[in-house]
Amino acid sequence: MTSRLLPIWRLATAALALALAACSSAQPNQVGAQVSIHDPVMAKEDGRYYLFSTGPGITIYNSDDMIHWRPQGRAFAGQPSWAKEVAPGFDGHLWAPDIVEKDGKYYLYYSVSAFGKNTSAIGLTITDTLDPASPEYGWKDQGIVIESVPNRDNWNAIDPAVIADEEGNGWMAFGSFWSGHKLFKLNDDWSAPAEPEQWYGIAAGTRPAGVPAHEAGPAELEAPFIFKHGNYYYQFISLGKCCRGADSTYHIAVGRSEAVTGPYLDKDGRDLAQGGATVILKGNKKWPGLGHNSAYSFDGKDYLVFHAYEAADNGLQKLKILPIGWNDGWPEVDPAGLDNYISEIVAPQ
């Protein structure tokens, strides 16, 4: 963490923590409560921030300051028409979205799956604007981008994250457990793999011999997110187990590469595709697990966005947005921010 950024953030968030302390006992997703979400991603349009997360139809919030958040409904009133065909165990929750801007439109990628299975697909829906008050607002589903099928694929089509390279080509990272994270080049309209297909393995965990291809196995990694800073692409990943409240072991690690296609190496030169990774943020007694992050540059500052499970609130997941500092080309995040950053749900305007 840089010496200039950290003290300013500590003072600001400490003051905010005192101002909003009374909100901590409110019910989740009610006015005055902290934002309770999984797998957050963000975008900014015309000075307003928009937050998207796992939930029925993809949960959406908006904010003018990244602290006070207004509920904005969801992207899907129901569910994608094709969801049950891909994943018979689909329960209505769309997982792990990613939001990117392309040619003045907003592309929202999302996952359809069932827990622990690779009956999964990544879909795409598009809107002309994120502003719900605009007549141009409205999500139009584009269908499936990529699908995984048990006994055919040893990868899982969830957790999409899209980035453009220096030439403007789109690349999608995705994956979880099984054989790890994959990366492929998107076609010109970013709706399917490019032809001819270009695929790369960019991260993997330890998968013991003899684990059947149709099983997830114990290789605990997921949620790739690629962020460009300086001369490097940084692949953030989540290690450990999510979604277990106070028993979660989730934590965030990273590797970097000079090319979007990798190889991504950790601080010790180990390839993430061979099990390497440098941990940058772990849980503590108050916040035992945290992860599934995204990363952004807003107004000249870099931020890590993720969820963390709060032990004092029965392990309920809470939104966290912390500044990223850089030390010798590697990202650093101050763990004190876990206590200092407090979000609040406010009534829609």
> Which residues are part of the catalytic machinery?
39, 222
Which DSSP string do the residues of 225-265 spell out, in sequence order?
A: EEEEETTEEEEEEEES--SSGGG---EEEEEEESSTT---B
Find out whether 40 and 307 touch, Cβ atoms under 8 Å.
Answer: yes
How do 344-345 and 68-74 pair as beta strands? Answer: parallel
C-alpha 185: how far from its chain's center?
Answer: 19
Phi, psi of 254 (to 5 degrees): -155, 155
Q: For residue 290, which of 332, 335, 326 has the smallest C-alpha distance?
A: 335
Handedness of CA 21, 22, 24, 28 (dihedral sign): negative
Contacts of 181 (CB under 8 A, 6+ apart): 173, 174, 175, 201, 202, 203, 204, 221, 224, 235, 237, 272
